[in-house]
């Protein structure tokens, strides 16, 4: 582990604490539990921590305490031995019976280490009651060493730095999502047999929804549907792109609005595919456009060129963690109450989408043959 004051590992290790064994150095984990139950975006931003720990300690076992809501994000991750049900959503919303069931499972597993990326007092108490001697969490006062603004995924990696993970591993860690072979087969079959897409034109995925999770509802982060439609019209007109609009069953009317405003045909798959199939679809797509939402992070984690549009939240802390450079984030600064009238304009999104498609074409060696000049 690099010891220079300005190295990533050194900065991160200062952000972590092990509050109940402070006087002793941390031991390498052998059987560890990650407690990050909710929500989808935060769980995805924790997958770099899992990747770093798994690479540094290949003989160790890593389990994950996860909510029903966020389980699809990591349920098929090959680095995880077991997922433990933590409840329907956030720990703070659990009943005493649900927390007791979780506690008994944790105690029975006999973990030597528990990593707690979120500053959850409920998670810390459960880990302590379960008798897990080595508990690694974040400093409860500052958002980052020195009160700075370390990105969330980077800050979560401080827990790996605290147990001695090498800086090269920390630098390479990024979000991961692994669709199952069943999901990949189902998506491929649908694309070929029903959507009639053979890879000869760009495949674009749009998700106009987001902003719903057990902790909060924030629909203000949704880029206006008419702007999604105008962007899609540009992509179909200029590149001959095929467009698929995705989302949850509750977001199906929203997706219908986008499809209905488009000048070219598009397909509404909202409510017809789970997160695994969305990931499999993203693996094949030329471009994914979505709001600041957990499902967008899944697209990034598959390596799909992704355009993330931010509204009231700034793209400084909770940004997708990837080392592949296939992501563009758009945001417009504002004063006072947020209003999309002053948010990301269509023209800015068009320019970013064009750039991502061009880079994807250059990387894959597939020319944009349908470009209209």
Domains along the sequence of the chain with CATH: 8-172 (3.40.50.2000), 181-364 (3.40.50.2000)
Mean pLDDT for the stretch of residues 253-280 = 97
Mean pLDDT of all residues in 154-169: 95
The pLDDT value given to residue 21? 41
299, 205 contact by CB (below 8 A): yes
> How many helices (DSSP H) and strands (DSSP E) are in the chain?
14, 12
Q: What is the predicted pLDDT for the residue at 168?
A: 96
- Categorize the per-residue pLDDT at 96 as very low, low, confident or very high, splitting at 50, 70 and 90: very high
pLDDT tier, 22 (very low <50, low <70, confident <90, very high otherwise): very low
Report whether pLDDT(87) > 50: yes
Please determine, for residue 369, whether its predicted confidence score (pLDDT) is greater than 80.
no
The mean per-residue pLDDT over the stretch 65-71 comes to 95
Edge-to-edge strands, sheet with 203-207: 267-268, 242-245, 203-207, 287-291, 306-309, 327-330
Q: Which residue has the tokens 């975006």?
A: 41
131-145, 146-160, 273-287, 331-345: least confidently modelled range = 131-145
Q: Note whether 273 and 251 are within 8 A (CB).
A: no
- The pLDDT of residue 297 is 95
Residue 149 has pLDDT above 90, yes or no: no
State residue 25's pLDDT score.
Answer: 78
Predicted structure pTM score: 0.89
Pair 263, 240: CB distance under 8 Å: no
| pLDDT at residue 47, as a whole number | 97
Q: Does position 370 have pLDDT exceeding 60, yes or no? A: no
Residue 231: per-residue pLDDT: 98
Distance CA 316, CA 292 (A): 12
What mean pLDDT do residues 111-129 have? 93
Alpha-carbon torsion 38, 74, 99, 130, what sign? negative
Instruction: Report, as an integer, the average pLDDT of 249-275.
Output: 96
The two beta strands, 134-138 and 16-17, are antiparallel
Which bin fits 131, alpha (ψ -120 to 50), beta or left (φ > 0)?
Answer: left
Contacts of 1 (CB under 8 A, 6+ apart): 9, 161, 164, 165, 166, 167
Q: What are phi and psi of 116, to 5 degrees?
A: -125, 90
Cα 277 to its chain centre, rounded Å, is: 15
Nearest to 157 by CA among 141, 134, 175, 135: 175
Find the mean pLDDT for residues 226-238: 98
d(CA 106, CA 113) in angstroms, rounded, equals 11
């Amino acid at each position: 582990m690099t010891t220079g004051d300005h190295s990533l590992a050194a900065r991160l290790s200062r952000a972590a604490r092990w509050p109940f064994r402070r006087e002793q150095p941390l031991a390498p984990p052998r059987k560890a539990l990650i407690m990050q139950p909710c929500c989808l975006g935060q769980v995805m931003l924790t997958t770099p921590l899992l990747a770093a720990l798994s690479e540094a300690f290949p003989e160790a076992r890593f389990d994950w305490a996860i909510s029903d809501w966020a389980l699809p994000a990591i349920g098929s991750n090959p680095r995880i031995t077991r997922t433990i049900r933590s409840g329907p959503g956030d720990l703070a919303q659990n009943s005493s019976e649900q927390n007791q069931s979780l506690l008994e499972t944790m105690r029975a597993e006999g973990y030597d280490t528990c990593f707690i990326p979120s500053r959850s007092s409920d998670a810390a108490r459960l880990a302590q009651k379960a008798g897990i001697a080595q508990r690694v969490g974040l400093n409860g006062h500052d958002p980052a060493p020195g009160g700075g603004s370390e990105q969330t995924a980077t800050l979560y990696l401080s827990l790996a730095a605290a147990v001695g993970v090498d800086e090269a591993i920390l630098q390479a860690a990024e979000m991961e999502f692994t669709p199952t072979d069943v999901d990949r087969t189902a998506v491929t079959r649908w694309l070929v047999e029903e959507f009639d897409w053979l890879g000869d034109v760009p495949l674009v995925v749009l998700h106009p929804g987001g902003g719903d999770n057990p902790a909060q509802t924030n629909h203000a982060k949704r880029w206006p549907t008419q702007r999604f439609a105008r962007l899609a019209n540009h992509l179909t007109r200029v590149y001959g792109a095929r467009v698929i609009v995705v989302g949850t069953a509750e977001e199906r009317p929203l997706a219908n609005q986008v499809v209905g405003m488009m000048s070219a045909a598009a397909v509404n798959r909202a409510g017809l595919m789970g997160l695994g199939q969305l990931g499999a679809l993203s693996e094949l797509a030329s471009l994914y456009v979505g709001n600041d939402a957990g499902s967008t992070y899944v697209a990034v984690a598959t390596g799909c060129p992704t355009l993330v549009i931010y509204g009231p939240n700034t793209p400084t802390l909770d940004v997708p963690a990837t080392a592949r450079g296939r992501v563009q984030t758009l945001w417009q600064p504002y004063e006072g109450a947020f209003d999309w009238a002053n948010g990301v304009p269509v023209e800015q999104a068009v320019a970013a989408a064009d750039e991502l498609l061009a880079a994807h074409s250059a990387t894959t060696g597939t020319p944009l043959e349908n470009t209209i000049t």
